[in-house]
Structure 1
Amino acid sequence: MSAPLLAIEDLSVTVRTDEGHAQIIDRADLVLRPGSIHGVVGESGCGKSTLIKAVLGLLPRRSTIDRGRILFEGQNLLTLPRESMTREVRGRAIGFIPQDPFQALNPVFRVGDQMMELLRWHGLPGESPPSRGRIDRTTRARHRAHLISMLGAVQLADAEEALERYPHQFSGGQRQRLLIAAALACGPKVILADEPTTALDVTTQLQILKLLRDLAETFGLSMVFVTHDFGVVAQLCDTVTVMYAGQTVESGPVASVLGTALHPYARMLLACHPDRAADLAGIPGAVPSPLAPPSGCRFHPRCPEARDACAAARPATREPAAHHSVACVLHDEPATATATR
């Protein structure tokens, strides 16, 4: 397989709160290879969005990265100066599509002005960023023409007119297309999409998913797509990571994970999907608080297949199938998982 374009290795993130230290990410891993779309799936509160913010260097001020690396093209992003992250990586090499299209755009500025600001600081694809964000009329005209072409690429009608309108003059689906165009504008190699279809109706969601797949193929993009829906993963993604309470519990090709899920949590998530279950099922209990997470495998208090070993220590990550890994004592050596509760 090709070398990873983006790799998160053994990452842990803690946030200081008034109630204590919350461990949001606990030694998580993720691998994104060139030209692929990698899904990150799990319930709300599992740390998916925090993982994306860590890559972008946008964690809250009270956050601490306790361990791990985030490698982009072999460079550890955690060691880069803030200025380099701002000018060279965030928005330029790595684009971002936020979750809520109704909150992401400033309501008092025209859409065109907001999108032009991206190009003002990061420049056109393949070009160096303008010095101190200063551009002349000729450059501004080139930037505007580029934005019009990007709005056409995301299938937004009347692109020139759209640049002169305000956010409230667009529907939710149109706003999401604007945000996708903005993420693509500077020619990034990777797009991080944080549940970009959650606020949309089902019909519009399907259109956006198809658009993202087409754009990834057209522009040769790699993408990390955060979602809580395995149905979205099945439609869009090539590989997937399943997260629970900040831990990576399973990862592999989508066909393999959907066909033969190895971790009990992944299987129970799949059983919750209406397309895969005769009766709608739920997962008893709730995601534990990061202020006081359970020991060992964090899923063991809710797991119907839990053993004593699950609480004793965090399971090692195994690879029972090619490129398909799981962290569960059920896939350890037989002697490890003999005692049952």
Structure 2
Amino acid sequence: MSNIISIKNILFGYQEDKDIFKDFSIEIPGGVTTFIGQNGTGKSTLMLLAAGRLLPENGQVKILDRDTKNITDEEELNRLASVIYQNMEFDTEETIGNLLKIVYQNGHHSDSVDDKLISEIVEVMELQNSLEKKTNAASKGEMQRVIIAFSLLYGSPIILMDEPVFALENDQKDRVFKYITSYAHKFNRHIIYSIHDIDISKKFCDNVVLFFKDGSAKVGPKEEILTREMLEEAYQVPMHLLHEREKLNRKTLLNRDKMETGLTGKVID
């Protein structure tokens, strides 16, 4: 499958963390791609660069052959790629049920709007009892499922998700990612997600971008990247200890204060 995002020779760093990426290049293929690697290797930062929400100091980022430096309109950018950030929260006067309809009607599925996709996603995301709530009354896990539903109903050609299910239980994670994968293939959407759960990546992706502590990354089909040797090199621990590390990472995410995102925020991961 052809590449959907091209990143060439970029330089990027926050003021106190210069050179998170230095002369960094990568081509991200279409389909469902997962970002994995240790904390501090730049997964979240690269996701924001790949989505055009951050711009490199030098080098070039292209989304579907469009240079992100030339996209100045936010709506135009959303029409290419939408982003789910970690710990997204917002208040509205509308109920969740009405918001789902509004997002769907204004998104990329609007040429064939009906209630079937909404009903399908509500069922998969277990939102039947959430439709009359406002967003400020939703739990963290409930809100994560709502935001995933928004992203799928809006249906940008590329959807980027930064740790979208860390507050969900394991059976919910599997159900959500199984649906996300089938949705991407059915509607010809490209989904990129970061996650600490290697088992989820093994089951629900086409391609992997594996980040290393030295600032490099390797990309390829999951069968080539998710090998014992490569994972142990990236995580710098024996394979049998990786699941313990994943549990600690999930606990850290659940207890983390709301992160700053946006153009001036510092989000490395």
The answer to whether the superposition gives a TM-score over 0.5 is: yes
For 1:41, the aligned partner's letter is I
Which of 179, 183, 191 pairs up with 2:147?
179
For 2:151, the aligned partner's letter is A
Which of 58, 62, 85 pairs up with 1:67?
58
Residue deviations 1:194-223, cap 9 Å, x none? 011212222222222222222222322211
TM-score by length of 1: 0.60
Change (3 A) 1:241 1:270: farther
Aligned equivalents of 1:13, 1:191: Cα separation in 2: 22
Structure 2 matches for 1:234-313, cutoff 5 A?
234-245=202-213, 247-259=215-227, 261-262=229-230, 265-266=233-234, 268=236, 271=239, 272-274=241-243
Aligned equivalents of 1:68, 1:267: Cα separation in 2: 28
Q: 1:190, 1:222 within 8 Å by CA — same for their partners in 2?
A: yes
Aligned equivalents of 2:76, 2:208: Cα separation in 1: 27
- Structure 1 residue 68: deviation in Å? 2.1
Which residue is 1:95 aligned to?
A: 82
In structure 2, list runs of 5 or more residues that go unmatched: 245-269
Which residue is 1:4 aligned to?
A: 3
- SS at 1:241's partner residue? strand
In structure 1, list runs of 5 or more residues that go unmatched: 129-141, 276-341
Aligned equivalents of 1:104, 1:150: Cα separation in 2: 21
Does residue 201 in structure 1 map to residue 169 in structure 2?
yes
Q: Which has the higher helix share?
A: 2
Q: 2:51, 2:63 within 8 Å by CA — same for their partners in 1?
A: no
Change (3 A) 1:58 1:157: same
Change (3 A) 1:210 1:126: closer
Sequence identity, in percent?
A: 19
Residue deviations 1:53-80, cap 9 Å, x none? 1233334xxxx72222211221111222
For 2:23, the aligned partner's letter is R
Larger RCO: 1 or 2 (CA < 8 Å, sep 6+) = 2
Aligned equivalents of 2:238, 2:188: Cα separation in 1: 30
Aligned equivalents of 1:269, 1:117: Cα separation in 2: 46
Residue deviations 1:111-143, cap 9 Å, x none? 3565566568xx342669xxxxxxxxxxxxx98
Which residue is 2:32 aligned to?
A: 37
Change (3 A) 1:230 1:210: same
- SS at 1:99's partner residue? coil
Change (3 A) 1:265 1:97: same
Does residue 51 in structure 1 map to residue 25 in structure 2?
no
Aligned equivalents of 2:68, 2:26: Cα separation in 1: 15
For 2:233, the aligned partner's letter is Y
Aligned equivalents of 2:109, 2:169: Cα separation in 1: 36
Structure 2 matches for 1:314-325, cutoff 5 A?
none
Max Rg structure: 1
Which of 69, 78, 87 pairs up with 2:69?
78
For 1:33, the aligned partner's letter is P
Aligned equivalents of 1:113, 1:241: Cα separation in 2: 36
- SS at 1:5's partner residue? strand
- SS at 2:41's partner residue? coil
Which residue is 1:221 aligned to?
A: 189
- SS at 2:82's partner residue? strand
TM-score by length of 2: 0.74
Change (3 A) 1:259 1:220: same
Q: 1:10, 1:68 within 8 Å by CA — same for their partners in 2?
A: yes
- SS at 2:23's partner residue? strand
